[in-house]
Structure 1
């Protein structure tokens, strides 16, 4: 029994197969207004035609200042909703489901006049020569600003629901704002948000859940480990994730890494190198998980699913290379595929 082309239901989200398109920034907004354009429309709809079960749109900022660059998507204004609604509607025509990753870049906001973060320093764990990674020096958020940011996440989630998205993913990985708050190497606050490293993430989760339909699952992308010297380990991230689960997360998208350059510990450069992290989350936390990281080989993706390491597999660069990766992978693994009729002469 092959798993990759079997359905999965998480709360009210019914997926036709186990393939996820991982969020990947396109840096293609033309007017710096955060609104998706024809490039984004073609990019995402092509992957729906290509058979992907769940498409997760790229990191989309909850505020203009929270973008990585000014060419990134945003969801801070109601005027942005119609363009997303157009993409969602067209994706649904091909049987795919679509979510959106909402986030704030924090200190990694490259084009912000003054980036912000949990603290003004990255922490003593980072080597001196990489302490700021070429980025502007961040300013620590005030308590009032933290509360405002939580509300911005809530407003963005409300707009995502209005646009018709099937799920929402919070970006809590890769050194962006939620990750910055949960990392002892980056967050040196002495108030509540430094004493409990999960507190900011928990507040964001609760606020977002308050405007989501009851049957819509909330996904959290999380870094299972950090690679900087002195960075946190798997046991630590699982403890934090348990608190996120209690706050309302329904599924974890398990990645790794984040702030700064790797120290003595280096990320793997082989297929499925993050799969053990996904399996640990699945076993310890008891929620569905998405595995990601060099899963472009269909047989490796299938093995990850068939071995019960993860409930879903996410492919990123493989889908940049091939918009029809999902159809080709299903064909390779199962020897049976059902493409759109227009393509049956070529994909059989």
Structure 2
């Protein structure tokens, strides 16, 4: 289906689940954008989980955030367990206004439901000509990622994103989980009956495994941080920056774990023109051209920069539409039938590209 059709379908499901049209549209756009960018782990596949969270009362579908502080370049928002995109995008828009005027803005978002793909917020800031850094932690659920050298989980995937705008081209965006693989990517692999690459998982005994199912059955295994102590260190800093420095919560055991997917995020938005005028663009493009000019190991796979795979995926999605594999589309079709939205496709259509 086209990106617009995916948005419309997602919004219809959310409205049928009790979400008001405006926040439903914001969340639907965020999820469809993730699918179009090549992240189906963070796209419409999350809708059954979101609806379950709403039904369980762990999400307030009407909440859009409450401002706690707007003092100069410092902004603080309590998401009040509202759907992540409906809280984050308006807050980031206000922070962008402040950054353009003052040169920098520091935004703390507390206590919001799942924020989804964090790189999308860096892309949104880049569209405004702003450099941005985003540090996120995850609370409400049990930890699933071990620290370096450990076999007992101590945090969740604690993603971070950094974005650099470009003049007339895709932004440079680094968007990574601090675990070797995002939990939702492991979930998608498990749903598809696929294995993951070595080095991402351990079982309940601390032994390496490629079976993502160890995360979803007892006794549970765990995710490993990427790069050993490096990813582990970034995950810990994510807890401190997003969970403690924002005034939100960390995953420390004294804090409530009620099963909700809750995020805190610390975002720094910078107007580079306040630092370097307009000349920085030429310097950046020269560097990127130098990187692109690197001879690849495989001539069929040129050297890319962060954000380029997502840009290429979006181009393909605009041209060809979004393909939803059978397990994802089956879950979405079942939810649609349950909510009375549309009709479930025939099994033969389940893995067909709809455009």
- TM-score, structure 1 as length reference: 0.31
TM-score of the superposed pair, with normalisation by structure 2: 0.30
- Identify, as 1 or 2, the structure richer in helix: 2
Larger Rg: 2
